[in-house]
Structure 1
Amino acid sequence: MTEREPIRRSTKQLIEDGRARQEAMANIDTVLAGVRGTAYDNHQSVRVTVDGRGKLLELWLRQDAVRWGADQLGRLIVMVAQAAMDQATQAGYNKLGPILGDNMTYAIELISGRSAPARNPQARGITAEEFQRRRDERMANGPTKAEPVEDDGFDPDDPLSFDLSSLRSDR
């Protein structure tokens, strides 16, 4: 395991970060109201749009959606609404994470009782352990010849050239 080095920031930067987080906490409702999640069923019969708080903004049914029957259509609407809510929840956490920081965002997840869908163990994808196992397996096979990489304009010395928060897989 590698040791972590603390990030060194000036007092001014810490104060600015604290003020930004305080302002963000005061505006959580505004941020979540601006977030949208939209989902469709596989047959494009139902479309649901919700905001970050779960408020239904749009329910669209194709004309022939009645062919499903009342019970099945009701279940389909609920499933699509759940998918839209998951999308809106994740988008909300994606917006709050960089502003509030990981610890505060995780605390909000715990308080709200709604964890980030990316953390859901039933979600499709692989676990961190599986990722590490596959990586170790690839590394054990030896290095492969790397293709030449085109310059993408990234400057590691320029903090504005890349947003580190985009590296988080659970936000």
Structure 2
Amino acid sequence: MVERTPVGGGSTRELIAQARERRDALESVEALMASATGTAHDVDNTIELTVDARGALLRLWLAPSAASWGPDQLGSLLVEVARVAQREAVQASYNLVALRLGEQATYLIEQLSGMPAPARNPADDPGITVEEFQRRRAERLRETRRRGHDGPAPAAEGSVEEDELATFDPATLRSDR
């Protein structure tokens, strides 16, 4: 005798509705990924370009001074700036897909496409971790409480830490999304 186990815990109509929602979401992936763009420029603001996640050039701006760079140097710079813009576009496309399909499905798409999300690149600078941020914040708060109402302690000459945590933006923490 064959044992039958329920698939999802809902009625047949609910399961069909869920399957249709997933199908519609998957069909929208191509459009979502195609809508993502990335823009980058060189450090001298000589070049600025916008590409889509596939690397198609959508917009190119060159400063008049770009003509003095010469074809080889300008070509190399264009390729490098386009590479940075494409990484931004790829990440933006996965961010959009993750909002629609969820993290697990997006990770599967990354694996199938062969283009992992740039935020997952282990060679990139990982930045400060949430744990490190929390530890530094706790230390700063303890120091503030210890000083009490005496006001701020004088900062050491040339100290980076005095401003580091006061101006830290948690939005700069690394995330896959």
Write out per-residue CA displacement over residues 38-86 of structure 1, whole angstroms, 9 at most, x where no aligned residue.
1111111111111233221112211210222211111110111011101
Q: Shift of the alpha carbon at 1:101?
A: 1.4
5 Å matches for 1:123-142? 123-126=124-127, 131-132=130-131, 134=132, 137-138=135-136
What is the distance in 2 between the residues matched to 1:101 and 1:122?
25
Q: 1:78 to 1:25 in 2, by over 3 A?
A: same
**Residue in structure 2 matched with residue 21 of structure 1 by the alignment:** 22
Count of residue correspondences: 140
What is the distance in 2 between the residues matched to 1:73 and 1:142?
47
What is the distance in 1 between the residues matched to 2:108 and 2:52?
21
Query: Which protein has the larger Cα radius of gyration, Structure 1 or Structure 2?
Result: 2
1:77 aligns with 2:78: yes
Query: In 2, are the aligned partners of 1:33 and 1:52 still within 8 Å (CA)?
Result: yes
Percent identity, aligned pairs only?
A: 42
Write out per-residue CA displacement over residues 139-161 of structure 1, whole angstroms, 9 at most, x where no aligned residue.
88596479xxxxxxxxxxxxxxx
What is the distance in 2 between the residues matched to 1:54 and 1:20?
30
Q: Shift of the alpha carbon at 1:30?
A: 1.2
Query: In 1, are the aligned partners of 2:119 and 2:174 still within 8 Å (CA)?
Result: no
5 Å matches for 1:49-128? 49-126=50-127
Q: Shift of the alpha carbon at 1:18?
A: 4.6
What is the distance in 2 between the residues matched to 1:118 and 1:100?
18
Q: Higher helix fraction: Structure 1 or Structure 2?
A: 2
Q: 1:104 to 1:168 in 2, by over 3 A?
A: farther
TM-score of the superposed pair, with normalisation by structure 1: 0.67
Q: 1:141 to 1:39 in 2, by over 3 A?
A: closer
What is the distance in 1 between the residues matched to 2:120 and 2:109?
14
TM-score of the superposed pair, with normalisation by structure 2: 0.65
Q: Where does the alignment leave 5 or more consecutive residues of structure 1 unmatched?
A: 1-9, 147-166
Q: Shift of the alpha carbon at 1:21?
A: 3.1
Q: Shift of the alpha carbon at 1:93?
A: 0.6
What is the distance in 2 between the residues matched to 1:30 and 1:13?
27
What is the distance in 2 between the residues matched to 1:41 and 1:142?
37
Q: Where does the alignment leave 5 or more consecutive residues of structure 2 unmatched?
A: 1-8, 146-172
Query: In 2, are the aligned partners of 1:21 and 1:99 still within 8 Å (CA)?
Result: no
- 1:71 alignment partner AA: D
What is the distance in 2 between the residues matched to 1:52 and 1:20?
25
Write out per-residue CA displacement over residues 22-41 of structure 1, whole angstroms, 9 at most, x where no aligned residue.
21211222112211111111
- 1:99 alignment partner AA: R
